[in-house]
């Protein structure tokens, strides 16, 4: 009740600062919870998809093994690679041209998938960096209010300075309460994204190896037919 009473008795500026920090905290925790589950699912799908893709007999079966799961980070990468591979084969390009273009298409697919997975992380970084300073602003305002009360009443008693000091400390505490989880979540998700990106790069390598094997097999068949 003392905490709520201190907030109730705080100045308008302090209340606005606390309201802003509360909104940032709710948004940060929403991002943290949603990202935790989405990145964990993405990593598991990437691991399972890479295993199925590697064990498939040919490129067609390997692509089909992904199951058309658009939620998998490998899905968009595979789409980019297959589209480029089919387009160049129909155009009758040489094997070297096909391999180089497919490599670039896979790299683009990995980059686009990572961009999607990075969504909302900038907000966590912003909250982690700005929340302490917003809380510090509330702290400074509370101390200024205490000095104003001392000047107005001509007394430095505890009853005079306590309201301003209490709202100053509350602003500091709330600012840290917002910044610490946001910082931990941001750093944790950077590690998860690095793991997912590593799996996508491995997948791109396996995909390109299959493309080159199919091109070599096609060349051998054409030479045999001649």
pLDDT digits (tens, 9 = 90+) for 3-47: 566 666 667 877 888 899 999 999 999 999 999 999 999 999 999
What one-character-per-residue DSSP string does 130-155 give?
HHHHHHHHHHHHHHHHHHHHHHHHT-
Residue 226, domain member (yes or no): no
* pLDDT exceeds cutoff 60 at 212: yes
pLDDT tens, position by position, 164-191: 677 777 888 888 999 999 999 999 999 9
Mean pLDDT within 110-115: 91
List of residues 6+ apart from 226 with CB closer than 8 A: none
Element (H, E) at 201: helix 158-225
Whether residue 84 is contained in a domain is answered as yes
Compute CA 114 distance to the chain's CA centroid, rounded to the nearest angstrom: 9
- Separation of CA 170 from chain center: 30
Q: What is the pLDDT of residue 27?
A: 94
Number of domains in the chain: 1
What pLDDT score was predicted for residue 102? 87
Q: What's the mean pLDDT when you consider all of the chain?
A: 82
pLDDT in tens, 56-100: 887 788 888 877 677 888 888 888 888 888 887 777 667 678 888
User: Which pLDDT score is estimated for 15?
Assistant: 83
Does 117 map to a domain?
A: yes
Describe the crossing of helices 95-117 and 158-225 by its angle, rounded to 10 degrees: 160
Q: CA-to-CA distance for 81 and 91, rounded, in angstroms? A: 16
CB of 178 closer than 8 Å to CB of 30: no
Q: Report how far apart, in Å, the C-alpha atoms of 6 and of each of 16, 21, 169 are.
A: 14, 16, 10
**Taken in order 29, 33, 36, 39, is the CA torsion positive or negative?**
negative
Inform me whether the pLDDT recorded for 1 exceeds 50.
Answer: no
Q: For the chain, give the percent of residues with pLDDT over 70.
A: 80
Q: Would you say residue 32 lies in a domain?
A: yes
Return phi, psi of residue 206, to 5°.
Answer: -65, -40
In a domain, 125, yes or no: yes
The more confident residue out of 183 and 153 is 183
Average pLDDT (202-220) is: 80
pLDDT for 121 beyond 70: yes
Range of the domain at 191: 2-221
Does 49 fall in a domain? yes
CA distance 53 to 50: 5
């Amino acid at each position: 009740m003392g905490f709520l009473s201190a907030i109730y008795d705080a100045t308008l500026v302090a209340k606005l600062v606390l309201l802003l920090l509360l909104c940032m905290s709710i948004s940060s925790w929403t991002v943290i919870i949603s990202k935790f589950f989405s990145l964990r699912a993405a990593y598991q799908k990437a691991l399972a998809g890479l295993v199925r893709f590697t064990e498939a007999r040919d490129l067609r079966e390997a692509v089909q093994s992904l199951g058309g799961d658009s939620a998998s980070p490998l899905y968009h990468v595979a789409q980019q690679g297959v589209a480029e591979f089919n387009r160049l084969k129909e155009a009758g390009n040489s094997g070297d041209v096909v391999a180089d273009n497919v490599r670039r298409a896979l790299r683009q697919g990995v980059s686009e998938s990572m961009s999607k997975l990075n969504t909302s992380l900038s907000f966590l970084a912003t909250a982690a960096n700005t929340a302490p300073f917003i809380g510090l602003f509330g702290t400074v305002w509370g101390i200024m209010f205490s000095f104003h009360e001392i000047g107005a009443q001509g007394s430095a008693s505890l009853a005079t300075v306590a309201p301003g000091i209490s709202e100053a400390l509350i602003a500091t505490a709330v600012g840290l309460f917002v910044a610490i989880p946001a910082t931990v979540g941001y750093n944790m998700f950077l590690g998860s994204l690095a793991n997912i990106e590593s799996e996508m790069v491995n997948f791109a390598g396996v995909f390109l190896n299959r493309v080159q094997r199919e091109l070599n097999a096609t060349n051998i068949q054409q030479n045999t037919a001649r």
